[in-house]
Chains A and B, each alone.
Chain A
Amino acid sequence: MTKESEQSKSTDPKYPYRSEKLLPREERVVRFLETLQEVLGAKIYNLPLETYLGTCAKCNNCAEQCQVYQASRDPHDLPAWRSDLLRKVYKKYFTTSGKLFGGLVGAKALTEEDIDNMVDAFYRCTMCRRCGVNCPLAVDNALITRIGRVILERLGFVPSNMTVSTRAQLGEIGNTSAIPKAAFIDTLDFLEEELRDETGIAIPIPRDVEGAQFFFAAPVSDYIMEADTLLGIAKTFHAAGANWTVSTENFDAINYGLFYSDADLEKILNRLLEAAHSLKCKTIVIGECGHSTKTALLFQKVFGLSEYRGMEIKSVIEVSHRFFAEGKLMFDPTKNPETVTYHDPCNLGRGSGIYEQPRELLKAAVMHFVEMTPNRKMNYCCGGGGGLVVVEDLHDWRMSTAGLKKVEQLRATGAKLVCAPCANCKKQLRELIQAHKLDMQLVGLHDLLGKAIVLSGKT
């Protein structure tokens, strides 16, 4: 029997896209509680979990922040309801009041049906954190969703797209798209040729340069889908005279562990840190990717091996912006005459605080920039956040429900181009544009910067 057929056999038909090596139903409750205890004992979540689970006032302010609920109007999409699934269990088994008073204080003994509900609910949350912005008590439901998913993974509930990609990344091939090293080097050669053909200048994409100032890692999907973004980044580094490198051993910044597993997150993160460390690079620059940037920024000090913790982590947007602020980049905005709007990726905006830098770059590199409404901290998720964009079985739901607010926002701008510097957002937005027949195109930030950048007297 092949590995693939073994896997499909172990998939519970009730959960077509969210189960792999599923634990027998009767064992789930015990495993769930053991894992929750483990998570609580892991310390790093204690304060957020205790405060979030212990003091939510159930004011339901989060409902009007959640684009999924706003589209579905299904009470089971209320962020507070979703979080309450875990809160009830936490109260029942881990608080004195819950043990003593049970249902009177909202505690509930865990059942297999509750676990079913959690599987459904936690994979209908895009972890965008918009609900946290306007929570009077600053409760962040996205973290509760994440903890819920981490626990469910231990029961076998996790989208196979994520685990298959992660296995490839943690295996010999070393990246989520399973691109062999030779093919990756060919791609770099191809990109260099493109740069030469387009600009007439030899712009290198340096490989495995020991001691380079910047170690660059993009989501590997960019090497397949987003050549223009990579060309723009190479031009930017070149124009700024930066000393940078990519690794031909470990070049994939994607870290799906953020969406379902601390253990996988830790392994993937340390692979990346190790690659930069072995080349003696001090700064890791993550390409246009929200979740990769946030994961490296957030978890480096928690899960990174001690010898890697001194490294600086930057988004390529911050680096390009710094070059621009230092006067190292010049743009000719007439190269981008179309009206452009900007989508704030949740993990770059609310998750990493990168709001103004891309806007300043865009305003310098395009003729007409229009804001999307609402924007910055109040921007809506593309609808594919929380890793859901890679779950193909959720495609229709992402188009009809999770991405609906985003479609309304995009349409209202009247822009011809929407700029989204995040690999996951790019995929979701392209699909939304196609599904809803919007008269616009999706571009990356460095696609536009690359078109407008002035290189040695040439543009």
Chain B
Amino acid sequence: MTGSEFIAGIFPYIAVALCLLSTAWRFVRWLSLPPHVKWTLYPVPEGIAGQLKYMLKEMFTFETLYKFNRRLWFGSFSMHMAMVGAALFFILYLGGWSTIFVVQLCLLVLVIAAIYIIGLRIYDKNLRLLSNFEELFNLAFLGGVAALGFAASAPHVPGSLRLYFLGLIELHPNTSVLSTVHILAVFLGGLFLIYLPLSKMIHYVSKYFTYHHINWQKK
């Protein structure tokens, strides 16, 4: 097995498995911590419906940032929505319900948003004071993955990304249809998946705990 065959044929499964396992490990760890001091922050949204409404609104509008930190909101909201959009439309593309163009558009937005936030973190004196290497690295890593994904999905790049991913889902990845840029994109994407739950970007899980288990503890 060549290095390319390993990266395209085996590594994606390892990356996905590690990502899921690490996420699950952190979720279970936080869930299994002993009862902590009641640190409710009032008001608590009424009932499960109220809490869901609050969370969904926050997740899909980034309302708190919108209200108080509009400059960062432009970048952060775009970046997160582009991330969700890229994943969603790529799945639709694989199913034949969308074109790769929409995925590319999302990836482009993702790249621009990451660059914008890096710029803001360097330009704004308070954000600069608060930011360390990790914040900038995370943004650069995400932007890099998106940029390589964008390049790999360009129409002029030979090979078929769609055929490859369909094969990957069916557990028979055809690595021969990939070009070098495809291989690089798969490799960097895999590394990002492994890194994601180990980094502070795990906030997609921690948020559940900080809201539901801490802020919204019942009386």
Contact = CB atoms under 8 A, between A and B. Distances in A.
A94 B209 CA distance: 20
Contact of A44 (B37, B62, B67): B37
A351 B214 contact: no
Interface in B19-38: 30, 33-38
B97 interface: no
A30 interface: no
A147 B73 CA distance: 30
B39 A143 contact: yes
Contacts of B137: 104
10 contacts: A47-B30, A61-B69, A64-B69, A75-B129, A104-B132, A105-B133, A106-B133, A133-B41, A138-B41, A298-B38
Nearest to A352: B42
A140 B36 contact: no
B125 A54 contact: no
Given A60-B126, A97-B198, A132 B42 contact: no
B134 A105 contact: yes
A349 B210 CA distance: 19
A52 interface: yes
A60 B213 contact: no
Nearest to A354: B42
A405 B198 CA distance: 40
Interface string A23-58: 000000000000000000001111110111011111
A47 B72 contact: no
Question: What interface size band does chain A fall in?
Answer: 35 or more
Given A60-B130, A134-B64, A136-B62, A45 B69 contact: no
A298 B39 contact: yes
Interface of A: 43-48, 50-52, 54-61, 63-65, 75, 78, 80-81, 84, 97, 103-106, 129, 132-140, 143, 297-299, 301-302, 349-353, 355, 376-377
Given A55-B200, A352-B42, A80 B130 contact: yes
A57 to B, nearest CB: 6
Interface of B: 30, 33-44, 58, 62, 64-65, 67-69, 72, 76, 125-127, 129-135, 137, 198-200, 202-203, 206-207, 209-211, 213-215
Given A46-B34, A51-B214, A65 B133 contact: no
B33 A43 contact: yes
A47 B36 contact: yes
A114 to B, nearest CB: 15
A129 B41 CA distance: 8
Contacts of A143: 39
A140 B127 contact: no
A106 B210 CA distance: 21
A355 B35 CA distance: 27
Contacts of B209: 47, 51
A56 B199 CA distance: 11
B206 A55 contact: yes
Contacts of A353: 40, 42-44
Contacts of B214: 47-48, 51, 138, 140
A58 to B, nearest CB: 4
A47 B213 contact: yes
A301 B34 CA distance: 14
Given A54-B206, A104-B133, A60 B127 contact: yes
